[in-house]
Amino acid sequence: QVQLVESGGGSVQAGGSLRLSCAASGDTASRRCMGWFRQAPGKEREGVASIYIGGGSTSYADSVKGRFTISHDNARNTLYLQMISLKPEDTAMYYCAARPGSWWSCPSLRQYDYTYWGPGTQVTVSS
């Protein structure tokens, strides 16, 4: 079993920055592939960034490339999403997700690949 808890969301103006954190606990092997997803009102949940904990390879949605950076601190069992140059269209509930994975199947931005989910943290970007 894996538990995920996000933090760090908030309200910022366009052009601002936020860093999201996801504290993870539970079976390590079950969270070797981790990702950040977001869902805006009336829209489907979409993959933002993913990382393979075992090797460090990452993947990003085109809409956030160059602005968002995903990372993982193994000692703290914490996943991060550094977000800069935020835009109003980044406004959404952000979720941390995890699943077992190997180098050939992770990173992944497909939500249905993931088993474990956090409750989410809200990010609001005003113009």
Place of tokens 């904990």: 53
Residue 78 main-chain phi, psi, to 5 deg: -130, 135
- With 0-12 CB in 10 A as exposed, 13-18 as middle and 19+ as buried, what is 42? exposed
pLDDT at 55 over 90: no
Band (pLDDT 50/70/90 cuts) for residue 54 is: confident
Render pLDDT for 69-96 as a digit per residue (tens, 0 to 9): 999 999 999 999 999 999 999 999 999 9
Distance CA 32, CA 35 (A): 10
User: Which residues, listed in sequence order, are joined to residue 124 by a DSSP beta bridge?
Assistant: 11
- Give the span between the Cα atoms of 101 and 113, in whole angstroms: 10
Confidence at 103, pLDDT banded by 50, 70, 90: confident
What mean pLDDT do residues 21-39 have? 96
